[in-house]
């Protein structure tokens, strides 16, 4: 009997030690957790991306070239996915969130939260880079903050069209670029095709953004992201560049805002119609399709967790 009491006491003490080592959950509300993660991962992505642009522009080619910007945004996206991927999905892009809602992978009630978080993260990142490069920017432009011209600096924060580009040409550019982004993202996450290997998703997505940058960045800087463009543009409007940030390029500002939303849905829809809808539903012996289907169903079930606010 005495041995039994000692065993029980030992078990209780071990349970107490186990409970003491468990991390405390500070935030149980899923919406708050998602919002904070999406804000932070967007902030990280934008700081690295905008920082690479600021370094190239103010360094006048001595501290990097256009490829540096492509690498900065690509690797920034990869780091952003690491920061928030398991919590919010690390969309970091309103076109991605909108497309996920269109295809039932994200609840519509979550869309305002995602967009607000992305806007906040992008705005704060623009402010951070302005502060870090404040002296460099003013030394480069002589204290005259301009949107166009040889010493223009507004392009550090938001995208502007090349002088030869028409609004229609720019609109097509943004639709196509974002369509390719979402089409490839759908492929990378399709468990019944050839998805990115487990654990390599961040670098795969980063390489995708890098690829779009080095192939489709000439016309207007490949925004392919409404929140990435409009939030820093708003920052520059209040930070000294004025309303010219909205007038430049024949009123260019709405193109990277609307084009990516349309392009994202078109790209994801194209993949779904031409590839995803035609996956076999019945497996042949040894082909493993049903196992992959079960894995995809499990992933989708986990993904739907973020659609419910506890």
Per-residue tens of pLDDT for the chain, all 310 residues? 555 455 445 454 555 554 545 567 787 889 999 999 999 999 999 999 999 999 999 999 889 999 999 999 999 999 999 999 999 999 999 999 999 999 999 999 999 999 999 999 999 999 999 999 999 999 999 999 999 999 999 999 999 999 999 999 999 999 999 999 999 999 999 999 999 999 999 999 999 999 999 999 999 999 999 999 999 999 999 999 999 999 999 999 999 999 999 999 999 999 999 999 999 975 544 455 445 545 555 555 445 444 434 4
pLDDT of residue 22: 57
pLDDT of residue 50: 98
Exposure string for 52-86, b = 16+ CB within 10 A, e = fewer: bbbbbbbeeeeebeeebbbbbbbbbbbbbbbbbbe
Query: How many other β-carbons are positioned within 10 Å of the β-carbon of residue 28?
Result: 8
Question: DSSP labels for 32-90?
Answer: HHHHHHHHHHHHHHHHHHHHHHHHHHHHTTTT--HHHHHHHHHHHHHHHHHHHTTTT--
Long-range residue pairs from 205-212, CB within 8 A, at least 24 positions apart, any chain: 205/77, 205/78, 205/81, 206/74, 206/75, 206/76, 206/77, 206/78, 206/81, 207/74, 208/181, 208/184, 209/73, 209/74, 209/77, 209/181, 210/70, 210/71, 210/73, 210/74, 210/75, 212/177, 212/180, 212/181
The one-character DSSP state at 219 is T
Angle at CA of residue 50, ends 206 and 56, nearest 5°: 100
Angle at CA of residue 131, ends 130 and 136, nearest 5°: 70
Residues making up the chain, counted from first to last: 310
HSE of 180, CA atoms in CB hemisphere, 13 A: 16
- Contact between 214 and 70 under an 8 Å Cβ cutoff? The reply is yes
CA-to-CA distance for 270 and 267, rounded, in angstroms?
5
């Amino acid at each position: 009997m005495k041995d039994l009491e000692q065993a029980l006491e030992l078990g209780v003490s071990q349970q107490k030690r186990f409970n003491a080592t468990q991390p405390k959950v500070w935030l149980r509300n899923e919406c708050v957790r998602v919002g904070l993660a999406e804000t932070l991962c967007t902030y990280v992505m934008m700081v690295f991306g905008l920082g690479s642009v600021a370094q190239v522009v103010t360094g006048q080619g001595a501290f990097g070239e256009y490829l540096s910007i492509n690498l900065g945004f690509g690797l920034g996206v990869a780091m952003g996915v690491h920061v928030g991927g398991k919590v919010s999905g690390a969309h970091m892009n309103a076109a991605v969130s909108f497309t996920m809602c269109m295809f039932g992978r994200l609840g519509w009630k979550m869309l305002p939260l995602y967009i607000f978080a992305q806007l906040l993260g992008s705005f704060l990142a623009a402010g951070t880079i302005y502060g870090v490069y404040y002296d460099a920017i003013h030394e480069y432009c002589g204290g005259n903050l301009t949107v166009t011209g040889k010493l223009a600096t507004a392009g550090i924060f938001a995208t502007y069209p090349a002088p030869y580009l028409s609004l229609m040409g720019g609109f097509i550019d943004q639709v196509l670029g974002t369509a390719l982004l979402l089409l490839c993202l759908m492929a990378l996450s399709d468990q019944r095709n050839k998805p990115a290997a487990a654990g390599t998703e961040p670098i795969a997505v980063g390489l995708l953004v890098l690829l779009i940058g080095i192939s489709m960045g000439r016309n207007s800087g490949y925004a392919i992201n409404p929140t990435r463009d409009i939030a820093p543009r708003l920052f520059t409007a209040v930070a000294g560049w004025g309303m010219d940030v909205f007038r430049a390029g024949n009123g260019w500002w709405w193109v990277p805002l609307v084009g990516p939303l349309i392009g994202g849905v078109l790209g994801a829809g194209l993949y779904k119609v031409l590839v995803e809808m035609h996956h076999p539903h019945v497996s042949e012996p040894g082909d493993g399709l049903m196992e992959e289907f079960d894995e995809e169903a499990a992933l989708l079930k986990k993904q739907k967790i973020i659609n419910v606010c506890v």
